[in-house]
Amino acid sequence: MNKIIFEEGDEKKALDFLRNISAKDKVAIVTHTDLDGVSAGKVIFQFVSSIASKENTEIFFIDYSEMELITEKVGNDFNKIIFSDLNIDYPNEIKKISDNSEILIIDHHIFDESLNSDKVIFMNVKGYCASYLCYYLVSQLKEIKDISGLDWLVACASVADFQFFNNQEFMKEVYEKYGDKFEVVGDFVRKNGKIYELENNLSYSIIYFKAKKNLYDFFDILPEDINNFGEVLKYSNIVKEEIENQMEKFENEKENFGDWYFWKINTAFSVGGMIATFLSLKEINKTFIITREEEGHFKVGARRQDGKVNLSDILKKAVEGIENSNAGGHAKASGATVPVRDIDLFKENLKKLL
């Protein structure tokens, strides 16, 4: 693996944090709910639980909007906490936790301020998915635990997050290892083959388990062997069929504003971001913003592939002044959470910005 130059954080400190985990430590792993977040959690969990024991290692899956509540989730029960794939815009929450715990953050999102301190190690670099960053760090400690058997999962996460340019040497090696061929066509990975199909099915299965509010069950049955997927993949076809149905509805229900589209999707599955991705790949110079109501909020997925609009900045500006809202992500793919009562205000803000 090629050496990564982190934009933020000290790699030696991060490795020392991981290396110094002991059997006495109680470790919390807090990660995102998409394929990259789950994969990052799997890599870190496999490493940590081999040292601190599974009884002393607990994983938490949270959406970006739940970061503000993270102190309630981890409390004072853990002396070490590892965050991965989370757009952390709540430095005060991190400071509260760091009063009682040592913290390692491994991320690739755009951030407003450094979180590094005496108790917090904040590792950040863009251009890689979070699971690859976790894999990169843990792979340097293979004398403690060899996690190379999860290389296929990290490759799938790289495809899912469109983060496969800076680690192409790794991607080629993994594809070849499993009888596949890594190819980039324009800005996208070739849309067929073993890894691509596996990534799709894993992402669909995650959506199914999230709708059932049982992502922990998915994590438990996610195998370490690429050839042992029967139980996981049987759930993906249910979501595939729903996506096809919703894609047809989009054409009839979308609102068009110049070169961007707005749509309120109505489905039990959290597929707005995925559908926005599919649509944006067909029309790379259009912006697709899809919202879905969930527990008093609208979850927003925004995608545009030509890079001419920084969606992270746009969404952050669109939620300014809206209480109990948040936004963030990447330039081409970003998300937001907006209270139901303020969705029309959010849309009006978008009209002014876009």
Shared domain check, 271 and 152: no
Per-residue pLDDT reduced to its tens digit, 270-303: 899 989 999 999 999 999 999 999 889 999 999 9
Q: Which domain holds residue 269?
A: 240-353
Q: Quick check: is 2 in a domain?
A: no
Q: Which pLDDT value is given to residue 339?
A: 96
Q: Tell me the pLDDT of the chain averaged across its residues.
A: 92
Q: What is the mean pLDDT of the segment spanning 76-104?
A: 87
Shared domain check, 273 and 131: no
Q: Quick check: is 1 in a domain?
A: no
Q: Say if residue 27's pLDDT is above 80.
A: yes
The CATH number assigned to the domain holding 162 equals 3.90.1640.30
Shared domain check, 245 and 227: no
Domain ends where: 199, 233, 267?
A: 233
Q: Quick check: is 3 in a domain?
A: no
Q: What is the mean pLDDT of the segment spanning 303-322?
A: 96
Q: Quick check: is 224 in a domain?
A: yes
Q: What is the mean pLDDT of the segment spanning 90-116?
A: 88
Q: Say if residue 170's pLDDT is above 90.
A: yes
Q: Quick check: is 175 in a domain?
A: yes
The burial of 118, by beta-carbon neighbours within 10 Å (0-12 exposed, 13-18 middle, 19 or more buried), is given as: exposed
Shared domain check, 334 and 264: yes
Q: Quick check: is 5 in a domain?
A: no
Shared domain check, 272 and 201: no
Q: Which pLDDT value is given to residue 304?
A: 96
Shared domain check, 150 and 44: yes
Q: Quick check: is 274 in a domain?
A: yes
- 220 or 340, which is more confident: 340
Q: Which pLDDT value is given to residue 95?
A: 83
Shared domain check, 345 and 312: yes
Q: Give the pLDDT band (50/70/90) at residue 113.
A: confident
Shared domain check, 249 and 303: yes
Shared domain check, 266 and 227: no
Q: What is the mean pLDDT of the segment spanning 77-96?
A: 86
Q: Which pLDDT value is given to residue 26?
A: 95
Per-residue pLDDT reduced to its tens digit, 219-261: 988 888 888 877 777 889 899 999 999 999 999 999 999 999 9
The CATH number assigned to the domain holding 338 equals 3.10.310.40
Q: Give the pLDDT band (50/70/90) at residue 44.
A: very high
Q: Say if residue 130's pLDDT is above 80.
A: yes
Domain ends where: 168, 201, 233?
A: 233
Shared domain check, 51 and 128: yes
Q: Give the pLDDT band (50/70/90) at residue 129.
A: very high
How many domains in the chain?
Answer: 2
Shared domain check, 97 and 49: yes
Shared domain check, 227 and 110: yes
Domain ends where: 233, 259, 278?
A: 233
